[in-house]
Each structure stands twice: as structure tokens, then as C-alpha cells.
Structure 1
Amino acid sequence: MPATPSLFIDVWSDYVCPFCYLEVPVLDQFRAAYGDAVEFRWHAFELRPDPAPLLDPQDERLHESWTRSVHPMAEARGLTMRQPPVQPRSRKAFETMLFARDAGRFDVVHRAIFKAYFEDGLDIGDVDVLLDIAAICGLDPETLEEALNEDRYTAEVVEDERLATQVGITGVPFVVVSRSPLPGDEEVGGGAPSKAIALRGAAPVQHFEAAVERLFPDGFPPMQ
């Protein structure tokens, strides 16, 4: 494998979207296969930012979606998931994620927020809940609380969502698989392979593998 990343995975997701959590084990599988050759970049996408109305946790259509789609997929992908009793906003959860990234604890906090919501049914829109998650994950809750109160990471969340609009993203999970330019790319005419491929929804790992094959028709890892 190359020492530096040559494959990039940009993921837009929302902590209140069950299909975003369902994509986590697939991304883990992909990471295990490609190791240091792949770099993951997570982006915020609020499905229901303030003042958009929140879903009713008791809505029958929501229950039907969980029964028909979420639970079977969770079983197939080895996740424990329960339909949450609350439907919170997710902005402060994203700000907590960014704080954790800067503190070098992104992965553990990222997973803990998903787990808190979809396994424990906690209100991840509640700052006190997020502070508890941070403390359990080894972060200083007082420093995090200060950052959240000051909206220190709000601009980054908004920028992620601005980029999503620019890309044309209207739902999540949404993944863009891309690669670094290779020698000769600029010399190849209209037949050059695409350098970025979008995957929509809770795509299986086979879709990621197919994207890599399209991006690297001569095989992966590429010759440098």
C-alpha cells in the first residue's frame, strides 16, 4: 500500500439518520481492506436544521420504515439498533464531533454519538448528554462546554452544508470516492477515468470496490 493516501472517502452524514449509522460497518470494512492508502473525511449534514420541523417519533410511517428497512439491514450488518424515542437537532452533536477531531479523539466520539442515539435512545441534541459522552471518551467536558456555548465550530458545520448544497446533496448518507491525480492523467483525452464517484444511500462494500476499480482501471495501488 502507498505510504500516503491516494484514495479519499468524503462522507456526508447525520447523527439522527439510521442509514448513516448503518454505513459505519461498511466503511470500517473498506478501511480494513485499504489501510493507510485511504483517507476518510467526514462532513456535517443536518437533515432537519432549525427551524425545520422535527419528525414525530410516534409516526406510524417511521415505525414502518424501521420494521421494513432499518432492522433487517442492521441485522445483516451486525449492528444493534433501536428506534430512538426522541428526534433531536444534530448541530451540537456535529460541533462536538469537530471538537473531538481537533483533540485527536474523532473516531471514538463519532461512534459514541451514534451509539448513544441508536442504541441507548439518548437525546444527542442535549448539551449535557454530549458532555457526558465526551467525558466517557476521554475529553474535557468543561472545555467542550465552553466551545459549544461560544459556537466555536458552528461556522465549520455551516461550511460543510454549503459544500453539500454546491455538490447537489439532498440526502444522506452521501459518499464521494475520489483519487489523487496520476501521472499521465492530463495527457489522456475524453476517455480518462472519472476522478470522483458518488455513492448514495447505505451502499454495500461492493459498491465501494466497484468505484475503486473504475478510478484505478490499471489496478490498485497505483504505480507512482
Structure 2
Amino acid sequence: MTSPTLYLDVWSDYVCPFCYLELPVIDQFQNAYGDAVEVRWHAFELRPEPTPPLEPDSDLLQQSWDSSVYPMAIDRGLLMRLPPVQPRSRKAFETAFFARESGRFDVVHRAIFKAFFEDGIDIGDTDALLDIAATCGIDPESLEEVLLGDELTDAVIEDEEFAQKLGVTGVPFVVLSRDGVGDQEPPPPIALRGAAPIEHFQAAVERLFPDGFPPGASGANLP
């Protein structure tokens, strides 16, 4: 395995449909470049306490799904349904962070998204999160002990404070960056806001690696 030379720092929220819609794009990008890319996921709660959650049956939410979410889901090959609940997501992040400690972050991360946007499961409910994690090979008793306390709360808040310093106000938010070469400083990181298409990722890579990426490659891996 080679060391990564490109980093994708992704801030997302499990209750944001556009964050789930960005997942296939990031997968396509990562599949194209393999070990040359490292994706690092970060927490960003759109509606933490005491911000009121969205009304799940509001006309505004239904209109947003009809006009934006459903068409993009079809285009990106995802089966999505407007969830019947609009929970808070802090415990879901803590669940994913707990899974990271045992190398199961990715499978739990995807399972939480799928449970909410495909099955309509309340991912703010601790019992639901325990069930999701158990199907992914996580010990539910150990996880429950963590979720009943605030052991991982600081990790979630740290991600969000870093995002605030970057000026992040919405998600998905992706920062592409690279290491410097020798004594040379790396070029400035590039931020992509919203559910950016694969073409925006490719354009960012071309700016970060004007001589080609991965370094030494003869051409782009993406179609």
C-alpha cells in the first residue's frame, strides 16, 4: 500500500439527504485513485440542541425532495425515501466514531445513512443505533455504555469547531488538499460545497496536481 498523496476531508450530517447523495461520487473518486486518496469524514450537526428539528411532514421539506433530492437520487443510483422522522444526529456520529476505533467506521457510516434514508429508521434513538451497529459487527453493550455517557461528545464538537473556523455553514463540505514536495509548500486546499458532481472533484485535482495525478501517472483515471 502506498502513502496517500491527496486528502479529502468531508463534513456531513446523517440527516442531510445531500450528504448521502454525495457518497456515490466520493466512492467513484476513491475507486478511481485507490490508495493515492485518503477520505476523512467529520461530524457536522445541522440542527444541534437547541435548534428545533425540521417538521417531517412540512410542505417545504416535501417540495425540496420532489424538486431536488429525488431527481438527484435517480441520477446517482440511490434508492431514497423521505424519512417519517427528523431526529438529531449527535448519537449517530458518536456511534460511527466508536466504530472507527475497531476499524468498522465505513460499514457503520453507510449503514446509518441507509437506515435513515432508505428504511426511515429514527437514528436519534439509541436502541435503533445499537441495532444498526450490531448488524455491522459492533458489540452493542460496549456501544450502549458509550452512548449513555459523553465519552465521544468532545470528538463531535471538535469536528464542528474546526468546521466553524473554516467557515462551514452547510454540508456536504469537502476540502481537497495535498502534501508538499520536498521543500515546496503545497498549493492551497480547495473547498467544494454542496453535492458536487465528479467533474468538480476532477477539476480540483487538476489544480492541485498540474503535472498529473497520481504523481507520475500518464492520464486521468476518471472517465
TM class by shorter chain equals over 0.9
For residue 39 of structure 1, what is the aligned residue in structure 2? 38
**Counterpart amino acid of 1:19?**
F
Q: d(CA) in 1 for partners of 2:183 and 2:100?
A: 35
How many equivalent pairs are there?
216
Q: Does 1:20 align with 2:31?
A: no
TM-score where L is the length of structure 1: 0.94
For residue 208 of structure 1, what is the aligned residue in structure 2? 201
1:58-94 deviation per Cα after TM superposition (whole angstroms, max 9, x unaligned): 1101100000000000000000000000000000000
**Counterpart amino acid of 1:207?**
H
- Cα shift at 1:185: 2.2
Q: Does 1:139 align with 2:138?
A: yes
Q: d(CA) in 1 for partners of 2:64 and 2:165?
A: 29
Q: % of aligned pairs identical?
A: 69
Q: d(CA) in 2 for partners of 1:182 and 1:64?
A: 48
Q: d(CA) in 1 for partners of 2:62 and 2:139?
A: 37
Correspondences of 1:158-173 after superposition (within 5 Å): 158-173=157-172
1:33-71 deviation per Cα after TM superposition (whole angstroms, max 9, x unaligned): 110000011000000001101100111011000000000
For residue 215 of structure 2, what is the aligned residue in structure 1? 222
- Cα shift at 1:103: 1.1
Correspondences of 1:13-162 after superposition (within 5 Å): 13-162=12-161
**Counterpart amino acid of 1:124?**
I
Is 2:178–2:187's contact at 8 Å kept on the other side of the alignment?
no
- Cα shift at 1:151: 1.4
Q: d(CA) in 2 for partners of 1:40 and 1:60?
A: 35
- Cα shift at 1:194: 3.1
Q: d(CA) in 2 for partners of 1:76 and 1:221?
A: 28
Is 2:55–2:86's contact at 8 Å kept on the other side of the alignment?
yes
Q: Does 1:198 align with 2:197?
A: no
For structure 1, the 5+ residue unaligned runs are 187-192
**Counterpart amino acid of 1:172?**
V
TM-score where L is the length of structure 2: 0.95
Q: d(CA) in 1 for partners of 2:187 and 2:65?
A: 35
The RMSD of aligned alpha carbons is 1.1
Q: d(CA) in 2 for partners of 1:57 and 1:194?
A: 43
